[in-house]
Amino acid sequence: MRKQGDKLESSLDPSSLLPRVSNSKLPTLESSKQLDSYASENSSLKQKVEDLEKQMASMRQSSDDSKAVDVRAKEEEIAGLKATLEQRLDQAPQFRALKQMLQTKNEEIKQLRAILTANGWQDPNVGEEEAA
């Protein structure tokens, strides 16, 4: 039994532990400082990433807003062009002549219907309009 105790005592001898500790890979003061500097650098980089993400979101929002403004401006421009086109069409000589011909023909139809009605003719379309 004594031999086992001797082995136990020799394994607990501080001088025998010293080489094990110095050879082990425990963090030294220098590596601890490096870890601290890496940790602070990591936290600053994380903060920069968060700031950049916020900036990107802001830029996207600004881009979306400017696109919406551009779309509204284009819609207003289109509406103005449509109004100008309609005005030009109304002022075109061909269109005015066509409107005048249509108005003349409508007047002729009204006169002919009045003559036919005065002579006892009944318009078949009048009954359909009242039924509808």
What's the pLDDT tens digit per position in 75-116? 999 999 999 998 888 888 888 899 999 999 999 999 999 999
- 1: pLDDT strictly greater than 50: no
pLDDT at res. 75: 96
Phi-psi category of 121—alpha, beta or left, where left has phi over 0 and alpha has psi -120 to 50? beta
The confidence band for 122, taking pLDDT boundaries of 50, 70 and 90, is confident
The confidence band for 20, taking pLDDT boundaries of 50, 70 and 90, is low
Per-residue burial over 11-43, b if 16 or more Cβ lie within 10 Å, else e, is: eeeeeeeeeeeeeeeeeeeeeeeeeeeeeeeee
Give domain status of residue 111, yes or no. Answer: yes
Q: Report the C-alpha gap between 14 and 21 in whole angstroms.
A: 10
pLDDT at res. 121: 86
Q: Report the C-alpha gap between 109 and 125 in whole angstroms.
A: 14
> What is the number of helices (H) and of strands (E) in the chain?
5, 0
Contact 26, 32 (CB under 8 A): no
Give domain status of residue 8, yes or no. Answer: no
pLDDT at res. 14: 54
Give domain status of residue 37, yes or no. Answer: yes
Give domain status of residue 4, yes or no. Answer: no
The confidence band for 4, taking pLDDT boundaries of 50, 70 and 90, is low
Mean pLDDT of 22-38: 74
Contact 60, 68 (CB under 8 A): no
Q: Report the C-alpha gap between 93 and 85 in whole angstroms.
A: 14
Q: How many percent of the chain have pLDDT more than 90?
A: 48
Residue span of the structural domain in which 36 resides? 29-120
The count of domains in the chain is: 1
Give domain status of residue 88, yes or no. Answer: yes
Give domain status of residue 6, yes or no. Answer: no
